[in-house]
Amino acid sequence: MERLVLIALIGSVTAMQMRSVRQEYAVLIGGATAAFLLADTLIRVTGLSDVFLRACGEYGVPSALPGTVLKILGIAYLTEFGVNVSKDAGQHAVAGTLEIGGKLLMLSCSLPAVVSLLETGAALIREAAP
Amino acid sequence: MRNLLLLSLALFIPFLFLENSEEAQDGVDALLKTVDLSEWDDLFRELDVDGTEKPSDYLHEIAQMRGQPFSTSVGKLQEQLLPSVRPAVIRTVLLLGIAVFGAALNGLSDDSAIGENARTAFRITASGIVLVMAFMEIRTALHMLTTIDRVTEILLPAITGFLMLSGMTNTAALLPASYMLLSELVMKTITSCIAPLAVTGGVMLVLDAGSTGKLASAGRVLHRAAKWILATACSLYMVITTIRSVASASADGLLIRTTKIAAGSIPAIGSLLTESVDVAFQCLHFVRSALGLTGCLVLLLAVLKPLLSTIMTCCSFRASAMLAEPLSGKQYADLLRGMGDTLHILMLCGSSATAMALLMIAPVFGSVGGV
Amino acid sequence: MDVNLLFKIAGIGILVAVIVQLLRQNGREELATIAAIAGLILATMLVLSMIASLLETVRRTFSLY
């Protein structure tokens, strides 16, 4: 954790320096720092998601559902990263469009899950009250 | 069924001659050791009980429980049934993991619009997972209720026939009436009224978790109605059976004591499980006749495993709801607690149905083989 | 994929700034512009390699495929 905080500080300060010299490099350095931090954090979480998928499989949950859950998480984090980097570069239009794209993608991922949720609920009720 | 009758006759005869003595205990124990347990396997196969583990594997242990102090019996039972704890722990951790992942999304800043969408989408998908995980367990619980019904239905002609043979026509006349009452008042209410209410309420609570909207409060109302109906049906049944038993059986101190214990535990629904298990074991202790014991044993064995698995799942849902509350907020806690409540009601249904069926069998035999 | 990459990008940036300044002083405007663009492309490729590894990690963790 300390390593990550140090890298974040160094990256931010360097980017600030570059802003007075050549502005575009500030955006590049900021983006690279953010990418590095995100990747480093996610590497530690990879084990968790594997265990989660395997445990869900053991209990007979169809593998589409936990996969969707993880997809939503991934899309959310990636979109957040891209939007913030674009905003740093001052391109709010790009950021806004990326945000809309992310929202649409998440909703389209979760639609099958919503359908299966309603179907399972109906099947349960039908089973209990024939 | 004829084999069951012969087996019970064989077990009954020592009681007839040597009631309430050490030799009786030893004799029956020796008899049980030589009994061909494959008979029981056929019966259980006929009842379509969970076929992965043969009841004869732990039948000896349970049969030895008679005449032993309660704690030893519970200890032996625990030995047999403890392996089902580990899956429950894993299930709790899994549900908790879902809630924690949901909490991770709270890290996205609030003024980013994608955070809100992500949270909603994640919650809906997590609801789907929770519902699917509870699905199998609810199906097992519902199946257990029908099993109780079928077991009592199968036991009834055997017990009635035996009573007729031994000349106790009064109690023989009482038994079918008791069974009609049991099946109409208790079992039918449970399977066609209480279970659907519980499941529907659970689904509503899952769909609308965390908010105070109409759907969630409707679900809660359904759950409360289900518990109230269960309490009323069981109380009615106990009162009527007590009155009938006292009226038609001989004035046996043992019988009155048994039914008084039964009537005295008109349940506050929350403690119904402890009450019913208490009553069941006390009845077992008082029952003299081998046929009554056989009937009680058969019923208990058929119901024990599904009931225990339902209890474990209910506990794991509730535990994860409790643990998720500080971690990921009210929504996930309500989601998990909704399913936990549904399983709780189904478990109460199962245990009270078993207790009522045991009450139907046991007091009838309180006076047989003695006075 | 570590901190040195950040310093490389910063180094390229400073180098480009110095070169552009020198070329402008000597009056070669178009060469200065070309040098600036070349430096930018180099730095962007470095950043893209880091972002590619980020995407790979995300794909593996969240099984996005």
**Which percentage of chain A shows pLDDT scores above 90?**
35
* Nearest partner of B124 among A109, C65, A74, judged by Cα: A109
Residue of A nearest to C59 (CA): A74
The owner of tokens 């046996």 is B252
- Domain hosting B238: range is 86-366
Chains B and A touch (3+ CB pairs under 8 A): yes
Distance from CA of A38 to the nearest CA of B (A): 13
Distance from CA of A22 to the nearest CA of C (A): 7
Higher pLDDT, B151 or B111: B151
Other beta carbons within 10 Å of B29:
14
How far from B174 is each of B4, B181, B194, B241, B294, CA to CA, in Å? 22, 11, 27, 9, 19
Residue B77 lies inside a defined structural domain of this protein:
no
Alpha-carbon distance B370 to B48, whole Å?
36
- Distant-in-sequence contacts of C17-24, Cβ < 8 A, 24+ apart: C17/A21, C17/A22, C20/A22
Mean pLDDT of B205-218: 81
Question: How far, rounded to the nearest angstrom, does the alpha carbon of residue B67 sit from its chain's CA centroid?
Answer: 23
Residue B194 lies inside a defined structural domain of this protein:
yes
Mean pLDDT of B244-251: 60
- Domain hosting A117: range is 2-128
- A94-108, B114-128, B234-248: least confident range: B234-248
Say yes or no: C63 contacts chain A, CB-CB below 8 A.
yes
pLDDT at B328: 80
What's the pLDDT tens digit per position in B279-296? 554 554 444 355 566 666
What's the pLDDT tens digit per position in B335-360? 899 999 999 998 888 888 888 887 77
Q: With bands split at pLDDT 50, 70 and 90, how would you rate the model's confidence at B233? A: confident
Q: With bands split at pLDDT 50, 70 and 90, how would you rate the model's confidence at C1? A: low
Alpha-carbon distance C51 to B235, whole Å?
68
Residue B232 lies inside a defined structural domain of this protein:
yes
Q: In this complex, do C36 and A43 lie within 8 Å of one another by their Cβ atoms?
A: no
pLDDT at A100: 93
Residue B364 has pLDDT above 50, yes or no: yes
Higher pLDDT, A4 or B55: A4
DSSP string covering B16-53: HHSTTSHHHHHHHHHHHHHS-THHHHHHHHHTT--TTS
Residue B369 has pLDDT above 80, yes or no: no
Q: What is the dihedral of CA C38, C42, C47, C48, to 10 degrees?
A: 90
Residue B360 lies inside a defined structural domain of this protein:
yes
Alpha-carbon distance B47 to B64, whole Å?
24
Cβ atoms A73, B104 nearer than 8 A: yes
Mean pLDDT of B4-33: 47
Structure tokens given for B228: 């109230």
How far from A64 is each of A60, B69, B74, B103, B125, CA to CA, in Å? 11, 51, 42, 21, 10
Q: With bands split at pLDDT 50, 70 and 90, how would you rate the model's confidence at B252? A: very low
Q: With bands split at pLDDT 50, 70 and 90, how would you rate the model's confidence at C35? A: very high
- Total structural domains in chain A? 1
Residue A92 has pLDDT above 90, yes or no: yes
Residue B241 lies inside a defined structural domain of this protein:
yes
Query: Which of chain B's residues have a Cβ under 8 Å away from the Cβ of A66?
Result: 129
Higher pLDDT, B366 or A33: A33
Cβ atoms B181, B237 nearer than 8 A: yes
Alpha-carbon distance B315 to A65, whole Å?
24
pLDDT at B20: 43
Q: In this complex, do C1 and A36 lie within 8 Å of one another by their Cβ atoms?
A: yes
pLDDT at C26: 92
Mean pLDDT of B200-221: 84
Residue of A nearest to C56 (CA): A39
Query: Which of chain A's residues have a Cβ under 8 Å away from the Cβ of C18?
Result: none
Averaged confidence pLDDT in chain B: 69
Distance from CA of C31 to the nearest CA of A (A): 17
Q: What is the ipTM of this complex?
A: 0.85
Alpha-carbon distance A111 to A107, whole Å?
6
Q: With bands split at pLDDT 50, 70 and 90, how would you rate the model's confidence at B63? A: low
Mean pLDDT of B144-171: 70
pLDDT at C3: 79
Mean pLDDT of C27-53: 91
- Total structural domains in chain B? 1
Q: With bands split at pLDDT 50, 70 and 90, how would you rate the model's confidence at B15? A: very low
Which backbone phi and psi does B67 adopt, to 5 degrees? Answer: 80, 0
Residue B60 lies inside a defined structural domain of this protein:
no
